[in-house]
Structure 1
């Protein structure tokens, strides 16, 4: 681990830096040879799907279809390090709590099922059947099925997620807090209101035909690096790329493709963004309204001059409703207010609108910078308005592209992981499996935490993930989890969530995606759905890290069988013996998967049909619906003159809560994470210098003090009034109440804070 220091990074994203970092990750995990062979099988038609991001695979794969962070994700799970019972025997949970998240996962792969022993404050090995029996005893002894929270990570396969929701509903609850609630739930709520579907409308090949690509609140070089290939290719053929983000992310400036021998040998790179607009934290809505207003004004001028219209008036008339109300609101919104709220000038926004209007086909890309706000759902609808103005939905080279996080977060939702199931889905579940599922809606993430705090929830069962680290309001979440009677985690490695546990706690180790999954009928394939609704098979080839591991599906089935008993109408052993049977059941419950097993055997898999892509609008009006966004603020305004808007960030050496190192190469931060980014003007106003120790305090409205000490000031190019800090270290500053009322998504991307002198860590 490098000594903590700050050193500006001047190289392009990707390139030799990415190759060097990949090599270090493989060596660090003790797998230089095996790891390289494993990487060559990743994202290949006959291989396994990357356990990292959900960016899709091209139809014609190259010899290596992986990025730096995907390679690190595989190295992390294919590691030679082992977290055995012997290694844990002398480590109390209290002692482990003092370790960093990085050091916890560096213990390596879990090898045996573990149970918490209160007397010794340690995790000890337990037999699988004994673990299932003890877990079932607690679950069956609860007063109500609704006292259990069933949490799902986006890494779970379609097959495991489907069985998980089947188990929970057969048990009697719709409590499904899942990682979607903390990231793209606003997409799942907002897009259906506007266009009738909760997913994006583009395919990967649309990037090859787009004339313009607008990117909002997304850092693809870190969060979905394989997207850089599409952006590089688009830039090189002349497409305009406009980026709206508080930080000038390196990959959106220039990129050196590791797969391109000419760029690598010549040390050249490709400029990515035609223009970068550093919108203020919380200013995306104002920027979008400015773009929309400029489009309307330019079109009004064209109409007045009897010139060709700039909006797609035929599409608007034939396919949409609500345009006049939107136009009236935009015409009445004053430019000075837009400039103040967005941090951008009228000239900048007008120029961006001109680029958009000149493009025949445009793709609108967005990430969590747009959705993790108090009005995240409305933000999604606001961006959709921009697409509708030009008819940029339902034709090649155009569309809406939400960039999801984990590799199967979208697929989990498609196969039933939702706290708000429709009656039609529940009817098909009943008809297929012969039991009456619960109809009342369940808990999302924030509701689950509040239920745990109040004592309404008594048990927590997690299919992957690191809930405690990922959730907002960390201290409140920790206290809530510690009050539970039972916590169960299905995991590959030790993480922070295992140390914040209930009175009884179990860690059930599962196979990684890169490992062979052998069941009664032989080796199995699982399936995942990427961000663009492509479903394909994934089959691991590595030997399991331990003979004691079980697949996620087998573990879920074992829990279900023990808990529900012989009276269950669901043939758990039959389903897990052959995953084709699970997929047949998925097809019966979700007709969109028609021909599931045959279609995943076709190279590249298949696309789940999007009605909006066909310009069929499954909305109440039967048309795409424009939405008026009242005002300009994404988050409640704070009048405190010392207030800063904090956005949480992921480092480049991080994927969600997993840390591959304590460095952030592209931002020039090495060997440390407790930093706060501020521009030099804000530092001057506050009398701060680089390296000063400071604390951040939330400007809370509920009377609760939320303070995190030990940050170090790092100068960085950010708009005035803004600052940035890493997730999950800054999560204690995000209140539970600060969430979108429609989607429940916490406002991680705009937290009002004040900064003061503090003590170092």
Structure 2
């Protein structure tokens, strides 16, 4: 058992600490040689794409580009450990359910399709044909196709996602909850009506031309380490980097590039942020509004601050935005942002002084009630000086999973556009369902309320990733059948329906042979680059199927002769799937030829061309006031005698989404443990507690339902007063199902009102 301790980290992000972490990751997976060989082959023309985050490669055909978390992801997939039938024979499912999330995934790669046997409370092996027949029998017995839920993970390839949405729509439903619903849904919901696209407008090359980069609610040192290389180079050439984050994150402060021999030899590092603003949790909208107020005032005084030519030709709505911004009072902006007027004006001066500006944001922006409004305010700020649609400037929502953006492009969306459905009808000869399906939170409610009977997950860890944990578990347990396509054992496999299947699939790092030929799949990164990924490792088991093969065989078993799609043929040659994709999506014309070029190709982004696919054919300024009726506001009014905190959930450095690689968070100084809560020292004193005390966390919510997470260690930390931070999924039970972003439905996991009580065992 590793020692539990708090030892604050003083070094830079990256550097020797990252190399040591890589070594440990390889050793603990028992693959010191094979793992290193795999990593050295990454991003080669005959290599594979990193299955981790969606940050693009500088040169996809170059030699290995170091990324600590990418190493962990690859090592976890290439592990020598196996979770085969012997594991399930030793343990009842009720016993497995008592283990930690880390222990479950640490058992290694799944090797056989497994079916739950209620009599013995164990999973037992099942043949693939029998497994597909079981799912098809349940699906075809449903009175209404909408009683089935089809979840998708962002690691699913374009080819698998395309087949999946085609099968499910021919089956008869648009019930496509996916991980976008839980992360960047607000980005698309905000930008589509504003600039006509739901994706970022920048390319990686724009970071070389930016004079200033503004980073909102993002921690690239842990979540997108390769981004630090771009920020490092930008800082070195004199670009200003302005970070807004409640926590002091080491990756936004200093970075040592492990590939820079001089920097490593001298224990040097490069600063990242030139300006760092620790605003309150959820204070970004007020902060950006304050910046815009200063911009407008400076234009009034000097007359040359706004890009009037861009505004006149390309935008609408400036008058109403200006009126709203000018009416905002500085004391209100200071109170709600947690920043001073001088700080907001200072940030705005950096913006005014830069010719080309990129604005980046992550889930610290999207997982709030007013996330759509906040993103639209960020885009408003960019448009005031024409920072959309020119080199070195634009909007950059930084996605998480490696193909979360591509899955949406392929049609994994519960609210499909009519044009997509028309095209599917014309190409494949069936009438797709027209009614919107359910998103992730709605899917949980449907299962909980008995409106959905079958749950099928193409990847992911639904039971751990979702909010209101115990409500989600009740929902899954009410299903007649739950099915999970996965590479490793996880929480979702032990929180199951009356019948349950685990279907093991190939990982991105593994050779995918179909009809004696190796296959490649494609993914789309955060900047709309589509490229090929080909595995190089032997499969973990001869019993594994690829995701496209699983989808195709399930479609054939379910739809049978009533479908004219050649499912089995498509699964034998993924180039044929890409031919089908280009029939449906015009932007993928000549797909196979274009993706065969090292590095792939970029999909068209009309906003980056200043072509606005909006009702007015122009970009639209959107006015929003500072929210004054958030759940935290209401909670403080209801509990005037208590200190009500706003909790943000976050991941540790030894974690990627729900996958926990280890029990350390090196950059935040937490070792051997995860049940910690970061809190300002003065707040600890105000509670009458001490640093290191154990507390229980309780949600304060409008419905009065008790939601709690017990026994967390207080850690005095540099975080604004009134705010807390703690890891998920441990704190997901605190996030109510009804806590969702307005106009997006994303769980508001970054802004939950809570109170702290001394843990019962420690109370006098």
Question: Could you say whether these structures have the same fold, taking a TM-score greater than 0.5 normalized by the shorter chain as the test?
Answer: yes
Q: Deviation of residue 371 (structure 1)?
A: 0.9
> Does the 8 Å contact 1:279/1:343 carry over to 2?
yes
> Does 2:311 correspond to 1:316?
yes
Match in the other structure for 1:417: 412
Match in the other structure for 1:647: 648
Taking structure 1 as reference, are residues 40 and 630 closer, same or farther at Cα in structure 2, changes over 3 Å only?
same
> Does 2:326 correspond to 1:325?
no
1:748-759 to 2 correspondence within 5 Å?
748-759=749-760
* SS of corresponding position for 2:649: strand
Residues 437-476 of structure 1 show CA distances to partners (whole Å, capped at 9, x for unaligned) of 1111100001101111110011100000000111011111
Q: Deviation of residue 688 (structure 1)?
A: 1.6
> For residues 419 and 650 of structure 1, what CA distance do their matches in structure 2 show?
27
1:544-563 to 2 correspondence within 5 Å?
544-563=539-558
Residues 352-390 of structure 1 show CA distances to partners (whole Å, capped at 9, x for unaligned) of 100110000010000010111111111111110011011
2:567 aligns with one of 526, 551, 572 = 572
1:462-541 to 2 correspondence within 5 Å?
462-520=457-515, 522-541=517-536
Residues 605-646 of structure 1 show CA distances to partners (whole Å, capped at 9, x for unaligned) of 000000000000001111110000123458332323421000
> For residues 664 and 471 of structure 1, what CA distance do their matches in structure 2 show?
22
Aligned pairs, number: 756
1:21-170 to 2 correspondence within 5 Å?
21-59=21-59, 62-170=62-170
> Does the 8 Å contact 1:635/1:750 carry over to 2?
no
Q: Deviation of residue 149 (structure 1)?
A: 0.4
Match in the other structure for 1:663: 664
> For residues 114 and 242 of structure 2, what CA distance do their matches in structure 1 show?
50
1:615 aligns with one of 597, 605, 610 = 610
Match in the other structure for 1:601: 596
Residues 707-729 of structure 1 show CA distances to partners (whole Å, capped at 9, x for unaligned) of 11011100110001100010111
> For residues 59 and 392 of structure 1, what CA distance do their matches in structure 2 show?
26
1:179-218 to 2 correspondence within 5 Å?
179-218=179-218
Residues 68-105 of structure 1 show CA distances to partners (whole Å, capped at 9, x for unaligned) of 00000000000000001012201011111111111100
> Does the 8 Å contact 1:292/1:386 carry over to 2?
yes
> For residues 317 and 620 of structure 2, what CA distance do their matches in structure 1 show?
6
> For residues 564 and 373 of structure 2, what CA distance do their matches in structure 1 show?
42
> Does 2:177 correspond to 1:177?
yes
> For residues 633 and 180 of structure 1, what CA distance do their matches in structure 2 show?
27
Match in the other structure for 1:432: 427
> For residues 203 and 643 of structure 1, what CA distance do their matches in structure 2 show?
42
Structure 2 gaps, min length 5: none
Which stretch of structure 1 is more off in the superposition, 751-760 or 469-478? 751-760
Taking structure 1 as reference, are residues 323 and 456 closer, same or farther at Cα in structure 2, changes over 3 Å only?
same
Q: Deviation of residue 168 (structure 1)?
A: 0.7
Residues 584-605 of structure 1 show CA distances to partners (whole Å, capped at 9, x for unaligned) of 1111111111110000001110
1:585 aligns with one of 580, 583, 586 = 580
> For residues 676 and 37 of structure 2, what CA distance do their matches in structure 1 show?
37
Match in the other structure for 1:716: 717
> Does the 8 Å contact 1:521/1:577 carry over to 2?
no
* SS of corresponding position for 2:149: strand
> Does the 8 Å contact 1:283/1:633 carry over to 2?
no
Taking structure 1 as reference, are residues 460 and 60 closer, same or farther at Cα in structure 2, changes over 3 Å only?
closer
> For residues 488 and 45 of structure 2, what CA distance do their matches in structure 1 show?
27
Q: Deviation of residue 177 (structure 1)?
A: 0.4
**Which TM-score applies when normalising by structure 1?**
0.98
> For residues 299 and 241 of structure 1, what CA distance do their matches in structure 2 show?
23
Match in the other structure for 2:436: 441
Taking structure 1 as reference, are residues 688 and 628 closer, same or farther at Cα in structure 2, changes over 3 Å only?
same
Match in the other structure for 1:676: 677
Residues 27-77 of structure 1 show CA distances to partners (whole Å, capped at 9, x for unaligned) of 000000000010112233331111110000113755321300000000000
2:366 aligns with one of 364, 371, 374 = 371
Q: Deviation of residue 563 (structure 1)?
A: 1.1
> Does the 8 Å contact 2:60/2:598 carry over to 1?
no
> Does the 8 Å contact 1:244/1:279 carry over to 2?
yes
> Does the 8 Å contact 1:245/1:277 carry over to 2?
yes
* SS of corresponding position for 2:562: coil
> For residues 478 and 301 of structure 1, what CA distance do their matches in structure 2 show?
58
> Does 2:286 correspond to 1:291?
no
Match in the other structure for 1:691: 692
Match in the other structure for 1:306: none
> For residues 505 and 708 of structure 2, what CA distance do their matches in structure 1 show?
37
Q: Deviation of residue 548 (structure 1)?
A: 0.4
> For residues 19 and 5 of structure 1, what CA distance do their matches in structure 2 show?
22
> For residues 622 and 50 of structure 1, what CA distance do their matches in structure 2 show?
38
> For residues 42 and 387 of structure 1, what CA distance do their matches in structure 2 show?
36
**Which TM-score applies when normalising by structure 2?**
0.98
> Does 2:378 correspond to 1:383?
yes
Taking structure 1 as reference, are residues 65 and 685 closer, same or farther at Cα in structure 2, changes over 3 Å only?
same
Match in the other structure for 2:260: 260
Taking structure 1 as reference, are residues 684 and 628 closer, same or farther at Cα in structure 2, changes over 3 Å only?
same
> Does the 8 Å contact 1:153/1:465 carry over to 2?
yes
> For residues 598 and 93 of structure 1, what CA distance do their matches in structure 2 show?
48
> For residues 284 and 253 of structure 1, what CA distance do their matches in structure 2 show?
19
Q: Deviation of residue 760 (structure 1)?
A: 6.7
Match in the other structure for 1:230: 230
Residues 398-452 of structure 1 show CA distances to partners (whole Å, capped at 9, x for unaligned) of 0100000000000000001000111111111112112111111100001101111
> For residues 93 and 417 of structure 2, what CA distance do their matches in structure 1 show?
41
> For residues 61 and 421 of structure 1, what CA distance do their matches in structure 2 show?
34
> Does the 8 Å contact 2:292/2:325 carry over to 1?
yes
> For residues 412 and 131 of structure 2, what CA distance do their matches in structure 1 show?
25
> For residues 199 and 175 of structure 2, what CA distance do their matches in structure 1 show?
22
Which stretch of structure 1 is more off in the superposition, 61-70 or 25-34? 61-70
* SS of corresponding position for 2:420: helix
> For residues 761 and 713 of structure 2, what CA distance do their matches in structure 1 show?
8
* SS of corresponding position for 2:682: helix
> For residues 443 and 552 of structure 1, what CA distance do their matches in structure 2 show?
23
CA-based RMSD: 1.1
> Does the 8 Å contact 2:370/2:627 carry over to 1?
no
> For residues 20 and 744 of structure 1, what CA distance do their matches in structure 2 show?
40
Which stretch of structure 1 is more off in the superposition, 87-96 or 465-474? 87-96
Match in the other structure for 2:728: 727
> Does 2:406 correspond to 1:405?
no
> For residues 93 and 357 of structure 1, what CA distance do their matches in structure 2 show?
59
> For residues 744 and 60 of structure 1, what CA distance do their matches in structure 2 show?
35
* SS of corresponding position for 1:566: helix
